[in-house]
Structure 1
Amino acid sequence: MKKSNKRLNIGFFTCHLDNDYAYEVCKGVDYAAKELDVNLIVFPGMYMNASYNDPKNARFDYQYNSIFYYASKHTLDALIVSIGSIGSFLSENDMIAFLKNFNIPILTIEIEVPGYPYLYTEGRTGMRQAIEHLITEHHKTKIGFVSGRRENADAKERLDTYCQVLMDHNIPVEEDRIVYGNFSEFTEDIVNNLLDANPDLEAIVFANDSMAIGGYNAIKARGLEIGKDILVTGYDDAPAALVLDPPLTTVHNHIIDMGYHAVYEVLNLLDHGSTSTSILSSSLIVRSSCGCGNYKLNKAKELTSVFAANDLQKAKNYVLNYLFDDYKDNFYYEELIERFSEPLELILKPVADGSMAFDAAAISGSLLALIATDFVDLYFSNDKLTHAIRELNQLLCSLVDDNNRCKIMRLFNQLYSDMLAKSSSTLYNTIHDHKKAVWSSMYITRDTLTYSDDEESCFRLIMDKLQDAHFISSYMYIYEDPVMLMSDGSWKIPKNLYLQACNNNGKTVYLSGDDRLISSDKLFFNQYTSYDRRRTLVITPLFTNNIQYGLFVGEIGIEHFQNIYPNSLQLATSLNFISLMKQQLLTQSKLASSASELSEKNKLLNKLSITDGLTGINNRRGFLDSVQHLVNSSYNEGKPAMLLFADMDNLKQVNDRFGHKNGDYAIKSIAQILQQSFDTDDVIGRIGGDEFVAFCFLDDPHTPDHLCSKIKALSEHLNETNGKPYYVDISLGVSTFICNPTLNIEDVLHQADESLYEHKKNKRKDVLKPV
């Protein structure tokens, strides 16, 4: 097993990092990678058919998926694949075919793929708990369901669970109580349709929290009170669930835990050849939107007896369980309990001893120190912590008399005020940092424009700007050979790349000549990288439209992942501009150094190399080069076109009976007929002795028939007027096609040739005209 300085290299395939779900999974993967001291390489691709949802704006998003093919046994020890995200539109067979490209141990998450170990969170348990809660605790039977897309596996599982729970409770499943969204928050219209069709609806179950956001808007617009007039549940425990009003009852599906456990399981796979865990369980989190209100307060009196026993530790444990029991299965639960224990003890001790002498400054300081940690910001979230503080306030107020209740409320009002001030300061710093990162990203393009004539200065400044965007180290690779999209959707990656510039530990290196050449197998770790620490690396392609220029590999903390895409787009723009400038400077240099006579001779030689000497039209090379360029050009992609294959019937008879001079006359006559038939912008060539080919774009589907008719008419006119004793007859074959960057014109030429031989079956047997 190959390791980087004795550290394992674990790869993680995921979809676009701007996706909230993908980012949550990444956080769990990154946390475990740090805990286990393994290198993590994140491959943020796209959906395997990226243009499915947004064909206009996602037209070139397929380019992101090229990075997957840099994962191999030479670069990684094992691979975690978020197949449920990047492959959500693939069939099972397509998923298997995709995974077979990678000859390394693989663990899939979200979906079980036959033949591969997997890890996913089963959603049925939590969804069942949510629906049964509405039925058994709130006695609701008229329950609507807002599903995701019909073809989505997660949506289907949650809908099936809804139907099964209703049937288990002898509640009929009614089709008009089910509507379909797309897992986005834009659900107001479909929720309105649901409520219009079911004015007596008592509750709505949403298949995810995002769709509940639009549902809240639709419900409130009707003047209905959520949690009272109509009950609502969601699924995912997304950050939005807590900031909705009222807070959303939802299903905790352990997204971040799945990423965390995936790293441990893939290491089990490496060490033992198998995994120990394949399924995590979802669970219900009850809040106010389902009608429970502050349902936990019903248990509050239990704490009174705990305080009466004068056991502070037991009281603290009781409250911790009360506040955080919903997260007891999370990987970060123990750290959460440990971090929250100090401020909690400072709060509970004066309540337990009855003194109510709160040290507000100490409590606030301890709480603010907790808020300032990456742990809360990245893993538990400020919203969840604020919710817990609010519940603690309500719990303690329910245990004491009015006088002491006022003291508790004064304390928590102070805490809320301090937390708000801290949050405001944090938000300001975050916005300021984001602005700085955005400007640093924009300066990449600016510096390219400014220093385009000094490539080394240009790349050094780019590396500096990437440091400002929180990249700990940066590596900018340029392709020696172009990366190619294959017909089966896979990518052929180049064997070598050029490392143009890198920055490691604050030191920028600009490379030139052969020093830049790096094998693709050493993309992540080579002589220009150091092994002094564990790393989280992200790889992203550098492209504009359908042209890829290279790769960017950046080491960056997960809290700054939002900087990856803006900077990679700016880097691609810079490489595009540098490429254009190189071409322009090269052209200018050639023009400046070339004498007029040499230029003319070059033109003549070029013309001779692509021109047929007898007819003056393109020869085989000239024709194929011109047409191949036209059909592969991105500008012409999707345009219909045709090839017309023509050759002379009975040329041998003309040569044998009347001499080669007449044979040459016949060949030149055919070239003239084709030139008269096609427009000047079309391409015509003689590719063999009596073989001709013509190419044109098709503005009209009837063009091939018109051209064939015109050629036939001109040929008949020639034979009637040229006074020759023999016929100049032409056989024709036509093939139509659609231009695209991967089309091989030789294949189309072969099809036209086969069509021509069908035409030749009807050729004239004798070349002589009747006397």
Structure 2
Amino acid sequence: MKKLLCDKSNRKTIAILAGNLNTYYDSFLSKSVKKATLERDINLLIMICGSMNTDMSYKYEYQSNIMYYMLSEECVDGLILLPSIIYNYSKKSELSNILQHYKKTPLVTVNEPVEGHPGILVDNSSGIRELVSHLFHEHGKRNFAFVGGPKNNTEAQIRLEGFLQGMKDVGLEVDPRAILPGDFWKTGGVKAVRQMEESGLPWPEVIVCSNDYAAFGVYEELKKRNITIPNDIAVTGFDNIAPARYSFPPLTSIEQPLEQVAYKAVELLEQIINGKSVAKKTVLPTRVVYRWSTACSRWNLKCSGKKVTDQLEPQIKFKDIELKNRVSTWLEQFKTVNLDEQSVRVTKEAEFIDLLYLTVSRHEDINFWDDLLFNLRYILDKYNKVDENFLTIMQCRIAEIRELFLGLTLAKNSTESYVQAKAVQRILSVFVKKDLKQEISDQIPRLGIKSFFMSMYPRPFNHKKDETWDIPKTSTFFCGYCRGEEITLPEKTLFHTRKLIPENISLPDEPMAFIMMAASFREAQFGYILMEASIEDEQVYTNLGIQISTAYRSILIFNEREQKTKELNSVLEQLRKSNLKLEEMSTHDSLTGLYNRRGFLLLGEKYHEMSLRNGTDYILFYADMDGLKAINDTWGHSEGDKAIRDFAKILKSTIRDTDIIARLGGDEFTVCTPNTRSDSAQVIENRLFENIEKYNINSGNQWKMDFSIGHVIHSDQPKLSFFEKMSLADERLYNRKRSKKAKTI
């Protein structure tokens, strides 16, 4: 069966069901999986699925959940699954539903064991135990608190167990009130600090957080209370995301080997696809990265978290072979050089600076040098060659280069942000589908996205949280391009949704990675977007997808309003012609000047049809003059006619000019008020009663005017015809009339 991105070489395609690429964990893991798949000549789909059934980060995040069910064996050969994002904030039964959906597809899980499937796990316990031991023995800490994660998350549970075991290892008891719930977001850390303050317990010496985002929330709340870190309270995190290094103070954290996790997951999945047996569980170690949030320094061996080694080869692989060779040569020379000689020191420092600049120019990881210098310090110390001044100078040079690197990065990001903002502005400015297609083809390639495909369902549909997904079986290709070539297909060309893109679209014969997300707006699902993962900043994809979906929704609204305007104008034109005909056919009552029964029916039916078409409401009133016969019998028919004319005038003064009034015959009247809210019925009746009362006071007549009234609201009886509504209003009128008579007896 044909797979997405299939080519003549029979290249495999796998997918990772990720959460939200705006988080460091999902972003870095997805990038690492992309790197691993492309190196292995495998295609990749990165599915932005969102956390299951949650609105924590965004009210309508659950709309991304459609991506969990979007794939099948028709378009992928295997899956990498992150179970935690499925039941962090939802029921574990959701995982069973997804596993059932992919029961025929080879599958590897990451960081969560799932029965029947191989899993790549991280040792979430030992790092926390080491951290507790270090803070107890080396820093004399005794009072600890812990901020947890989502209650359904296995990793969060294991990290808590590791903390409790670590406390037990050093002989400390834990007050249950010092174990605080969290959610793996800053909000959890914020709430935890507030809960600590309200608990009545003294502030802890250390707050151990189950992830870095929670620690940032703790930072925020402690600073509001003028509690300093680490002098008053030490804080630790987990995951060692990029902001941990640059937070203030830099955050001590436990690093997961995400790149190793990604490579191992791809390796195992490829083996399963090829019919090979693999281990059911692979556990990878973590590493504590000590920083100033626990008063630790990288130059302190006890706080290093590193193993000192004589191995002088770089532990981080450089992509650039020339740079790697030059670094290796520079390191090897330290075995024989004499740093006491000034010329040697100057030469080695100059070489070091050259290598740093080369690292930046070749887009390598500048953080590599921090780890390398740590090992170099202890190796030089071992050979009695250590020179503190020399090492300090190199450390300063690294800081200078990092500042330069950050400056270059900021400048690059500023330029890219301007290009992105301009592209988004152009995309959001259009109101026609043709123009949106053109702007996508013009603007998105400028952002570095090499290929783009957007497909739409035959009809948009609304989806509510917790509803079962019913994905349309077919889709239409909306627009796209591939490697600079715009794709043109006949409009409304249908293809099977499970294929993801039409089969007649040709792709390059090379491994490709795509990011796929839902095209949705609030409750509405329109279709889906595929973008080639060809730029580093993955947040751009999410932002673009949201903006393009918003633009598409605006176009639909604009088109819908245009269509309704055309229909309204058409109806109004029909009404104008009908009015002319009604005039010609003498459709007015000669006594009052109001419409007669025939005129009212013709005009009322038009308003009824317009309400059904446009979804507007109207109210139909039936009124009957009480005591008209007595007026005729007592004061003559001329007074009776006067009463009828005056009642008609009162009706006209009570309602709007756009409303329809008719005298159906004798003492019977009817009123239709289009585009009226349902709660206006009682207001109109009350106004009519007030006007009648004023008339009786000021008219000077020997008789008093009185009436009974009933009404029907269109939206309460949407299935009834206009004529049936008239009958119902008449029935309600006479029910009131009978009730009035009963009260007077």
Give TM-score, length-normalised by structure 1: 0.68
Does the residue aligned with 1:46 lie in a helix, a strand or coil? coil
Task: Check 1:393–1:419 CA distance in 2 against 1; reply closer, same or farther (3 A cut).
Answer: farther
Q: 64-73 vs 404-413, which deviates more?
A: 404-413
Gaps of 5+ in 1: 307-313, 325-331, 377-381, 605-612, 637-671, 696-706, 722-771
Whole-angstrom distance in 2 between the partners of 1:487 and 1:200: 40
Matched with 1:539 is 516
Whole-angstrom distance in 2 between the partners of 1:351 and 1:227: 39
Matched with 1:342 is 326
Of 488, 506, 521, the residue aligned with 2:484 is 506
Matched with 2:163 is 162
Q: Once the 2 structures are TM-superposed, how far is the Cα of residue 261 of structure 1 from its aligned partner?
A: 2.2
Q: Once the 2 structures are TM-superposed, how far is the Cα of residue 470 of structure 1 from its aligned partner?
A: 1.7
Q: Once the 2 structures are TM-superposed, how far is the Cα of residue 480 of structure 1 from its aligned partner?
A: 1.7
Task: Check 1:33–1:199 CA distance in 2 against 1; reply closer, same or farther (3 A cut).
Answer: same
Task: List per-residue Cα deviations over 1:581-627 (Å, max 9, x = no partner).
Answer: 4445656777899995699689x9xxxxxxxx9x989xxxx999989
Task: Check 1:392–1:504 CA distance in 2 against 1; reply closer, same or farther (3 A cut).
Answer: same
Whole-angstrom distance in 1 between the partners of 2:451 and 2:222: 49
Matched with 1:551 is 528
Give TM-score, length-normalised by structure 2: 0.70
Q: Structure 2 counterpart of 1:464, which letter? A: D
**Aligned ranges for residues 17-28 of structure 1 at < 5 Å?**
17-28=21-32
Whole-angstrom distance in 2 between the partners of 1:209 and 1:591: 57
Whole-angstrom distance in 2 between the partners of 1:585 and 1:573: 18
Whole-angstrom distance in 2 between the partners of 1:387 and 1:284: 16
Matched with 2:209 is 206
Task: Check 1:62–1:207 CA distance in 2 against 1; reply closer, same or farther (3 A cut).
Answer: closer
**Aligned ranges for residues 154-233 of structure 1 at < 5 Å?**
154-185=155-186, 187=189, 190-191=192-193, 194=196, 197-199=200-202, 201-216=204-219, 231-233=234-236
Matched with 2:700 is none
Whole-angstrom distance in 2 between the partners of 1:550 and 1:218: 41
**Aligned ranges for residues 442-481 of structure 1 at < 5 Å?**
442-446=425-429, 448-449=430-431, 452=432, 456=434, 458-481=436-459
Query: Does the CA contact (< 8 Å) of 1:119 and 1:262 recur in 2?
Result: yes
Task: List per-residue Cα deviations over 1:644-690 (Å, max 9, x = no partner).
Answer: xxxxxxxxxxxxxxxxxxxxxxxxxxxx9xx96554454336779xx
Gaps of 5+ in 2: 582-597, 618-671, 673-707
**Aligned ranges for residues 725-740 of structure 1 at < 5 Å?**
none
Task: Check 1:133–1:84 CA distance in 2 against 1; reply closer, same or farther (3 A cut).
Answer: same
Q: Structure 2 counterpart of 1:481, which letter? A: R
Q: Structure 1 counterpart of 2:16, which letter? A: F
What root-mean-square deviation, in Å, do the aligned CA atoms of Structure 1 and Structure 2 show? 5.0
Q: Once the 2 structures are TM-superposed, how far is the Cα of residue 555 of structure 1 from its aligned partner?
A: 0.9
Number of residues of Structure 1 aligned to a counterpart in Structure 2: 631
Q: Does 1:267 align with 2:263?
A: no
Q: Does 1:440 align with 2:418?
A: no
Matched with 1:353 is 337
Task: Check 1:373–1:491 CA distance in 2 against 1; reply closer, same or farther (3 A cut).
Answer: farther
Q: 392-401 vs 68-77, which deviates more?
A: 392-401
Task: List per-residue Cα deviations over 1:709-735 (Å, max 9, x = no partner).
Answer: 9899649659989xxxxxxxxxxxxxx
Task: Check 1:716–1:12 CA distance in 2 against 1; reply closer, same or farther (3 A cut).
Answer: farther
Query: Does the CA contact (< 8 Å) of 1:249 and 1:286 recur in 2?
Result: yes
Q: Structure 2 counterpart of 1:80, which letter? A: I
Query: Does the CA contact (< 8 Å) of 2:323 and 2:355 recur in 1?
Result: no
Q: Does 1:366 align with 2:349?
A: no
Whole-angstrom distance in 1 between the partners of 2:435 and 2:474: 25
Q: Once the 2 structures are TM-superposed, how far is the Cα of residue 71 of structure 1 from its aligned partner?
A: 0.4
Query: Does the CA contact (< 8 Å) of 2:190 and 2:221 recur in 1?
Result: yes
Q: Once the 2 structures are TM-superposed, how far is the Cα of residue 26 of structure 1 from its aligned partner?
A: 0.8
Task: Check 1:569–1:90 CA distance in 2 against 1; reply closer, same or farther (3 A cut).
Answer: closer
Matched with 1:287 is 290
Matched with 1:148 is 149
Q: Structure 2 counterpart of 1:478, which letter? A: M
Query: Does the CA contact (< 8 Å) of 1:685 and 1:693 recur in 2?
Result: no
Matched with 1:50 is 54
Task: Check 1:230–1:151 CA distance in 2 against 1; reply closer, same or farther (3 A cut).
Answer: same
Q: Structure 2 counterpart of 1:352, which letter? A: T
Task: Check 1:485–1:529 CA distance in 2 against 1; reply closer, same or farther (3 A cut).
Answer: farther
Query: Does the CA contact (< 8 Å) of 2:211 and 2:239 recur in 1?
Result: yes
Task: List per-residue Cα deviations over 1:338-396 (Å, max 9, x = no partner).
Answer: 965633542562573215342545433333333445663xxxxx4x4363366368658
Whole-angstrom distance in 2 between the partners of 1:233 and 1:398: 30
Matched with 1:530 is 507
Q: Structure 2 counterpart of 1:541, which letter? A: A
Task: List per-residue Cα deviations over 1:161-180 (Å, max 9, x = no partner).
Answer: 32233335442221233333
Query: Does the CA contact (< 8 Å) of 1:254 and 1:280 recur in 2?
Result: no
Matched with 1:94 is 94
Q: Once the 2 structures are TM-superposed, how far is the Cα of residue 501 of structure 1 from its aligned partner?
A: 1.9
Task: Check 1:362–1:386 CA distance in 2 against 1; reply closer, same or farther (3 A cut).
Answer: closer
Task: Check 1:438–1:23 CA distance in 2 against 1; reply closer, same or farther (3 A cut).
Answer: same
Whole-angstrom distance in 2 between the partners of 1:199 and 1:143: 11
Matched with 2:414 is 431
Whole-angstrom distance in 1 between the partners of 2:161 and 2:303: 34
Whole-angstrom distance in 2 between the partners of 1:573 and 1:113: 37
Task: Check 1:404–1:294 CA distance in 2 against 1; reply closer, same or farther (3 A cut).
Answer: closer
**Aligned ranges for residues 731-750 of structure 1 at < 5 Å?**
none
Aligned-pair identity in percent equals 20
Q: Once the 2 structures are TM-superposed, how far is the Cα of residue 536 of structure 1 from its aligned partner?
A: 1.0
Whole-angstrom distance in 2 between the partners of 1:501 and 1:29: 28
Q: Once the 2 structures are TM-superposed, how far is the Cα of residue 84 of structure 1 from its aligned partner?
A: 0.8
Q: Structure 1 counterpart of 2:239, which letter? A: D
Q: Structure 2 counterpart of 1:91, which letter? A: K
Does the residue aligned with 1:157 lie in a helix, a strand or coil? helix
